[in-house]
Amino acid sequence: MIVGILALQGAVREHRTSLERLGIESRIVKTMDGLRGLSGLVLPGGESTAMALLADSDFLGRLKALARSGFPMFGTCAGMILLATGVQGRSAGYIEAIDITVSRNASGRQVDSFETLLDIDEIGKDVPAVFIRAPYITGHGSTVRPMASHDGHCVMAREANILVASFHPELTEDTRVHEYFVGMVKETIP
Amino acid sequence: MEIKGTYRVKSGLAEMLKGGVIMDVTTAEQAKIAEAAGAVAVMALERVPADIRAQGGVARMADPKKVQEIMAAVTIPVMAKVRIGHFAEAQILQSLGVDYIDESEVLTPADPDYHINKWSYTVPFICGARNLGEACRRLAEGAAMIRTKGEPGTGNVIEAVRHMRMMNEQIRAVLAAPAEELMTMAKDLGAPYEMLLAIREHGRLPVVNFAAGGIATPADAALMMQLGCDGIFVGSGIFKSGDPAVRARAIVEATTHFEDAAKVASVSTGLGEAMSGIAIEEIPAHEMMQTRGQ
């Protein structure tokens, strides 16, 4: 199995390293053609406004169709914003794959960025998490499972084949969050 | 429990900017144009390097009012420049809440000998470097991101290429050297020994390295990305060109798709006038910016 990493811009290398540590082959994806033959896709952190401009409407449409078909996707930070159905301050989402509303830069500017340890449902305790100008999940539909919170804010959630996190597990050496996503991908392989 | 201002948090933001373009802006209006074109961050400054070069005088940190207007205008990170060694300007920018501080040779240096001790700030710093020794000294002072110095405000990419090739060559040498040669190498490069160990551990510079100083076209961006830069700064190249919005977008596309020549060709087509540019040989030695703050 090969997991793709959306590489329009952002922390691509770090996700590759996390997947490598788990012995999972990955491939960078910059165009629609690059999506062929993948078993799952990671949408990394970066700047969501820049990434959304670099993905044309055909590409976003293809990602939306893939998400609906049950294809596993994992979005961190900006990747979570791209996957959300609602983004505060915008009339619509981008890929709209998970029924959550997110608030961009909700944790503040860079001087407020921080590291912490999270207890994550189904994953484990004391998972190191790096929050960088992070978005928070401000609302979600009934089929979404919130998995972790920090300071009263929902920061990780799953709905069926879509997993999202406000923070950056890929900036740490702990691979438990990636291992969980790889488990989701493996479940879809017959 | 939250821990702010750790090195991982500081260098982490730079990791998020990889593969992107950071644009110099002097007004909120320009910042909006940059964001709409797909910039991953903007650099707030009083005058772009080409104007500093043309007008002369002392170039300082931008007016806080201007920085705040730019911060209010966009949702992407806002960086701002301080003079080399001017830690009071840095304190001011940190108190304003800017996302990154560039201790920059583009401005007139404030200290003839010393850079800022960047460890004592919560806000991360980026510094310019012409070679591995400079990069390692800045990292040891606490910088969390590096860029080539190039020769700012010239629209001439040759110096950025020179600095990136030098950096690559010196990193290759550090990686290939037998352990017993490292200390002498550190002495010769003027690089702290511990930084060379960090490079060997990572197999590369331990932080993000962007190209800066003279990038003016999508082809320049594609060139620097293929030389191994992690992203691109465009200073005067955008707002000194004929059609800033279109050129900005084209450089963003070329930075993402730098290996796809057909794509770079298509975005390079019909961009209008690029900034005119200066040959490096025409610049008197005392007007060179890259030799400031070594």
Q: Which of B3, B256, B267 to mutate to test the interface with A (most CBs of A within 10 A)?
A: B256
Give me the residue from B18, B249, B253 closest to A10, CB to CB.
B18
Q: State percent of chain B over pLDDT 90.
A: 93
- pLDDT, average across residues A178-186: 98
pLDDT for the residue B51: 92
pLDDT of residue A130 exceeding 90: yes
- pLDDT, average across residues A87-98: 95
pLDDT of residue B272 exceeding 90: no
pLDDT for the residue B183: 98
pLDDT for the residue B276: 84
CA distance B54 to chain A (A): 32
Position B33 confidence tier, pLDDT thresholds 50, 70, 90: very high
pLDDT for the residue B160: 98
Contact (Cβ atoms closer than 8 angstroms) between residue A169 and residue A45: no
CA distance B15 to chain A (A): 5
pLDDT for the residue B1: 85
CATH of the structural domain A2-188, one choice from 3.30.160.20, 3.40.50.20, 3.40.50.880, 3.40.50.2300: 3.40.50.880
- pLDDT, average across residues A18-28: 98
Position B275 confidence tier, pLDDT thresholds 50, 70, 90: confident
CA distance A112 to chain B (A): 6
Give exposure, B141-150, as e/b (b: 16+ Cβ within 10 Å).
bbbbbbbbbb
* Interface contact A110-B257, CB threshold 8 A: no
pLDDT for the residue A154: 98
Q: Where are the beta strands (DSSP E) in chain A?
A: 2-6, 25-29, 40-43, 73-76, 84-87, 98-103, 114-120, 124-131, 136-140, 145-150, 153-159, 162-165
pLDDT of residue A56 exceeding 90: no
Cα distance between residue A44 and residue A56, in whole Å: 18
For strands B145-148 and B21-25, give the pairing.
Answer: unpaired
Q: State percent of chain A over pLDDT 90.
A: 98
- pLDDT, average across residues A95-99: 98
pLDDT of residue A90 exceeding 90: yes
pLDDT for the residue A163: 98
* Interface contact A111-B5, CB threshold 8 A: yes
pLDDT of residue B273 exceeding 90: no
Cα distance between residue B249 and residue B265, in whole Å: 14
3-class DSSP assignment, residue B148: strand
Q: What is the pLDDT of residues B154-207, one digit of tens each?
A: 999 999 999 999 999 999 999 999 999 999 999 999 999 999 999 999 999 999
- pLDDT, average across residues B125-137: 98
What's the pTM value of the predicted model, to 2 decimals?
0.97
Q: Is A115 on the interface with B (CB under 8 A)?
A: yes
Tokens of B21: 């373009």
Chain B positions touching A78 (Cβ under 8 A) are 16
pLDDT for the residue B17: 98
pLDDT of residue A96 exceeding 90: yes
Closest among B110, B145, B125, B128 to B235, alpha carbons compared:
B128
Q: What is the pLDDT of residues A158-171, one digit of tens each?
A: 999 999 999 999 99
- pLDDT, average across residues B269-291: 90
- pLDDT, average across residues B51-80: 96
* Domain parsing of chain A, residue ranges: 2-188
